[in-house]
Every structure is written in C-alpha cells, then in structure tokens.
Structure 1
C-alpha cells in the first residue's frame, strides 16, 4: 500500500468520521447546540475539501494508485452515510431522502466493482451528473448540519431540504445513467 499525501488526506477523512459522529452524543452542558452544529459543519466541510484535494493532488503529482482509487470513494460514502443518518435522527431531513442517497451509493459501488471484475470499469466512471449530485448533496448536508441561517430570513432547513430533494433527483438520474452505461457493456 503506497503512502503519500493524497492517501493521508483520505485516511484523515476516515478518521474524522467517529469525531464527527461523537459530537452529537456529547452532553449538552459540555457542547452546546450551536457550537455542536458549527463544529459538525466544519468537520464535514473539511472532509469535503479533502475529498477534492486528495484526488487533485494524486492526479497532479502522479500519485494515483489502485488502493487510493478504492479507499477514496469508501471514505466519501462513509461520511455521507453517517451525516445522513445523523440528520434523520435529529429530525433535520427525511428518512426517504437518506435512503435514496445511501441506496444509490451502495448500488453504484457494487456496479462499479462488478464492472471492474469484467474489465469494463471505465464504462461506469464518474460522470458530470454525478458531480452535480455530489455538489447538491454536500451543500444540503452542510446547511442541515449547521442549522443556522447563513443569510437573514433564509431558513436553512427549508433550503437544505430543498437541495436534498434536488440531490435525491440527481441521485436517481445518475443511477439510471450508470445502469444504462453498464447495460451497454452487456450488449457488446
């Protein structure tokens, strides 16, 4: 297993998950609600930044590896799933939205693994629709974690859940796209 800065950043994202989750289980007197929300949003934002940065650095410095290609999406899916489950538990978003997003992630991960075994992993490579989905999802999660108005009069729950619905629609759309790409491989 290679060890370099991109791999370190990916491992950092994995290591942040228990810290992120633990914030919501600390007693209120130790960590007040607004501070908890702010710290959780900052940790999630750091994870999102390291997600972008590790891939950028790996490509730029020629430090891509099979292990990094495996670990990066796993780290992403783990922190997103943890955030969505926490948001549902806190009553900040709907369970059906979390199920759509988490279900798609599991489905596409399994599809990519299967296609890789068939030697056709490029047919389900990340597409632009997937990047749009990720952007909407990350911003929605950040707003719902922060849970405070960034702009006076703008309800973070209404806006965050609106973006969550957009993310769920893009999630389903991207899943259909990837399934169609995989189906084309089978027809060949």
Structure 2
C-alpha cells in the first residue's frame, strides 16, 4: 500500500498503522486527549455550568489538562522516534511503548471523568498517568544509559526534564489530595 496517496484513497486508519512507529501511536493518543479536553471544555462552557459544575477549581483543572493532558504524549512520540537516532541505538518499536502510552493517555480520561464526578477519580487518573509517564521515562533512561554515542548531552537533558515533569505531576496529585491548589 503506497503512502503517497491521500488518506481518503488509502482507506480507513488501522491500528496496525498506528503501531508502525512510536510517534504515530503517541501523536494519535495525544490528539485524542486534546480533542477530548477541548470537547469537555466546550460542553462545560455551553451546557455544563448550568447542569454540572466541575468538582475542582476550573483554573487548576485547565492548567493541569493543558500542560499534562496531551503534551507528554507528543514528547514521547518524538523522543522514541528521534531519540534512538540521536543516541545511535536501534529503533524503538511502537509496540514497545504501547502500554505506557495507553496508561498515560487513559489516566487523563479518568481525570476528565472525575472532574465532574469526584475528585478521588481525578486523583486516581493523575496517579495512572504518572505511572505511564514514569514507564516512558524509564525506557528513555535505559536507552540513554545503554547508548555509546559520543554526544548524549541532549538526551540527558531530556531525562532531567522528564524527571522534573514527573515531579510536577506528583506535586499536582499531592496538591489535589491536600486541597492545596498552589502546589
């Protein structure tokens, strides 16, 4: 099947196509999370304020979803597609990061659901997504550690940034648990 034809001529998207490269899977899940978040906010704005208010401060929830709800999946897709090249390592299969990406994405689905149901579901979602992110970062740490490339500085900075991201996610969950939105 040639990929130089437009999508409409090639037929519907298939799961096998998503698993051809890490960026396809991760970008697809990120796009779903972005669309779900946008739809949730549009619904809340149009109807929800009269029917169902978020159980958490809207500003806090907005910041959390915009920073963590989809961007880490875009980062993961890029890192596991370009990272092995930087590090002169074998390609990473999308199948190798599939579980971690699905865990990360589904955690944010729980956050969206919990935001109108119960803050404990939001906390569970944050924990699930943190586990997914840590699984991805662990995989990237191992990739960086095993690399014998002369220049691994960029990859090491990515690892440091990923760890800071994990700490930020954990601090957010702790802030929710304590009711401290400033955390």
Q: TM-score, normalised by structure 2?
A: 0.35
